[in-house]
Each structure stands twice: as structure tokens, then as C-alpha cells.
Structure 1
Amino acid sequence: MAVEHTLRSNFVFAPPEDNPSAWQASAETFRDALARSFPDAFLETNTSSLREVPVLDFEIEVAPDVFVTGTAAMPVPDYAHVSIIDVTAHAAALFALWLRDSYVPSPASVRFLSSFVMENGDEAPWPLPATGDATEIEAVLLRHLTAAGAE
């Protein structure tokens, strides 16, 4: 069980595949939302070397001494994803709770993948629970990692 609490992965959050514009997201609105919720956030706009699109790199403290580093790519209204890197399921759940409840317009509009699943060739995203607290989200993220063989 200790492995589950220390295992680190990358997670990607995105809108539903059948409604990619569901978030009505932009780098500016995401940046503003992060700045409002996390006043000490590190926020920097860059250009992705992979896709040559503008991205927002960020580092936020989602709970005391729990930091999340990530990148948001939202260059057009029908394309958005947020990647967080090298996080535990606990830290990812805290970020996912904020994303679901404070940024996206509908709590049922978030899906996610982990690097463990993608490394195993499975690119089928899981839905983020539309309700529940960070503990319930963490349980889903841990089930996801376990299903991917990351136990």
C-alpha cells in the first residue's frame, strides 16, 4: 500500500472527446483562474517545442507544501489540455478538484490519462468523477494507476 502513496506519474486532463470545446478555455482565462486561486503561483507563457503553440507553464501550491507543476495548452476554443508532471495521486487529486470545481464550466466535462496508461499503449481516458472531494478523486486516480499495472 505504501507504493500507492509515493508513486509519481504525469496526468493529462482534457475536455470530453465528443465535445472538445466544452471548457471554452483559453490560456488567458486559465492563467487568470490560477492567479485568483493561487496568488503565489509561478505562471509563464511559452511556445511548445512539440507543436509550436502557446502554452502556460505553471507551478502552484495546491495544499500546504504540496506543489503541482504543469503546462496548459489552449490555443483555440476546441482544443485544450492540461498536463501535470511527476505528481502523486494525492497531489493530482487536489489539482483535479480545483480544475473541476473552479475552472471548467461543467463538472462532468473532465477526462484524464496517466503516463503509466499511455506507456502501456492504452490511450483511452477515464472520466473524472463529477462529484466528490479530493479523497474520492484520489481513489479513482489510484484505481486508474492500478489498472495500468503501476502498483
Structure 2
Amino acid sequence: MRLRSRLAALGLILLAGGAAHAAEVTAVRVHGLEEAMEDNVLASLSLVRGQGREMSWRRLGHLVREAEDETREALEPFGYYSPEIHVERSESGDGRGSFVVDITVVPGAPVRVRHADIAIEGEGTDDFYLQQDLAAFLPRQGDVFE
């Protein structure tokens, strides 16, 4: 009987220890971006997919570190390749290992097309429709490189 009591006590200690080491992201907030860019960042973040789930402290640290690279990649389709990104996690104050992650972004200047040299060579050079397509080709010099 003593062995059974000791095993039960050990099991309770292990369960309690596991709960004490769990972390949970309750909210991820992005600041400093237009709505479309913010939506793309949130859709790209592993933190958002892990939101509301208990995870180890190690996993939380990994996801917070990855958030900067994921945010940077999510802004590239909009022409922003060198944003300043600051990721900060703070306890939500409930005493249960819950965190809020704030990502503040200063997108900087978008990359613009400096020079474009597009031509049709060969038999299609004088084709009216190909020339129309060529004239409508985007992006043009000075446009944001999206």
C-alpha cells in the first residue's frame, strides 16, 4: 500500500510540475501596418497557429524568435524587404503562464523598380497585340516592386 501511495504522490508531483512549466499565447497583436499587410503577417505567424494552446517554455521562445523572420517574409509581397521589427512578449497577468505577443513594425521605404528593359525580338517585334501587351507590362520604372 505504501508503494501505491508513493507512486500516486509522484504522479501528482509530475503533473503539477508539468503544468507549472506550461506557457500559452493568449493574443498576438501587430502594430504599425496597413490592414492588408497586418492580415498577411498574422496569417504567416506560427505564434498565431499556436495561440490558445499550452506549450513548453522552449517552444514559446522558439516561436517568438521565429516571429521576426516570419513577419519579414510576410511583408515581401508588398515590396517591403528591410522593415524594422520588434517582437515583445509580456505576461498577461493572470499568473498562469499566459502571454501576449506584440509585434511592432516600421516598414520603411518599399523597394522600387529602378530600371526596366523589356523587349520583343524576332518575328513578333512588329505584332500589334504583342506591342500592346508590352506597353501594359507592370511594374514600370518607379513602381513598387511587388
| Fold match (TM-score > 0.5) | no
TM norm structure 1: 0.32
TM-score (ref. length: structure 2): 0.33
Rg larger in structure = 2
More strand by share: 1
